[in-house]
Structure 1
Amino acid sequence: MKETPVSRMRIQQARMLCLMGARAVTTAAATGIRPTDARAIYKEIHGTVSPPGQTPHSLEWYLERPARRLQASLLLKLYFLCIQSGYSTQQAFIAAYDVYWNIYGAADTSKRQQSERLIDPERGFYLVKRAGSFGALNAPGVGEAIAALPCRSCGLEILSPAHEAAFVCPQCASGFQNPGHRLRA
């Protein structure tokens, strides 16, 4: 790869994604570098080849558990804030995932603590790739659609089936009584 400021930035971004656990296939797609370069970076960082396997293909996965729903909503909101700030889609994903990564922390093997992070880079990239512009997220040919809808109780925008008219977020539905959670009077 010919060294240019743009290529150096993309390689730096690829390294960052690999350090956060992204496989080479996601690193290449998210940064625009060649797949062979992404595999080389992955091997350099992890000392082994990037794991093979299918990339995510279901939007329903994000709705299966309340914690996933909340974390995916946060990641998507961070992504769109970056887009609104003028970031390119590649930069927005990397910046949003970096903030998400730091919010939910890394695993601490010395204390036997696992990360609270539920969305790996592959799932995060799939989510923002399907998002396009703010509104319904559609998986082509599958017929599933989700959207960030405001909770009718607290107003928090949370991922939900796009056809759900009277949406209540998982926190309100479970009777969560934190007074700070209520965004509206």
Structure 2
Amino acid sequence: MTGAGDGASPDFKRDMLAQLPALRAFAVSLCGRHDQADDLLQNTILKAWSNQESFTPGTNMKAWLFRILRNDFYSELRIRRRELQDSDGEHSAQLAVHPGQHAALDLKDFGRALEALPSDHREAIILVGASGFSYEEAAAICGCAVGTLKSRVNRARASLRDLLSLGEDDDFGPDTTFPAGSSGTKSV
């Protein structure tokens, strides 16, 4: 072991090791299973070893170690309560997440198409589409008439559709060809 334990005092190590039988018994009484108790005991010793500078020499080592073990046990218990038992995989089979790579590629393509727009069109669509300004607010920012700004936004949208090879009704988003949970095969 390296790190916090490099400068461990022999007294700290000796006192900690002397508490192992009592700690293990306490861990078994909390967990009810020896294998879980051993894991809990190991975590306790690792935490105590790595945080030995927080132990005040001359105080009760046993109480300090028991508190670490108890806190670790209840932390793990809280985590396990939020977890769902699904040993047969039935619940996880119902969950589906669309692959992230498609969205990342779509975003990259969109960024390139946005950069290809003339600067006044890019500015107009970013102000209205991404920043949420009204046409009037965006026109004031750009120093142009509202009609001019609306025209720029319209031309920017049309250019983006062309650059991205989208039709009028195409959407960005999850693949509708194979919805979540489908195997990619059609039933007859």
Fold-level match, TM-score > 0.5?
no
Larger radius of gyration: 2
TM-score tier, shorter chain, comes to under 0.3
Whose strand fraction is larger, Structure 1's or Structure 2's? Answer: 1
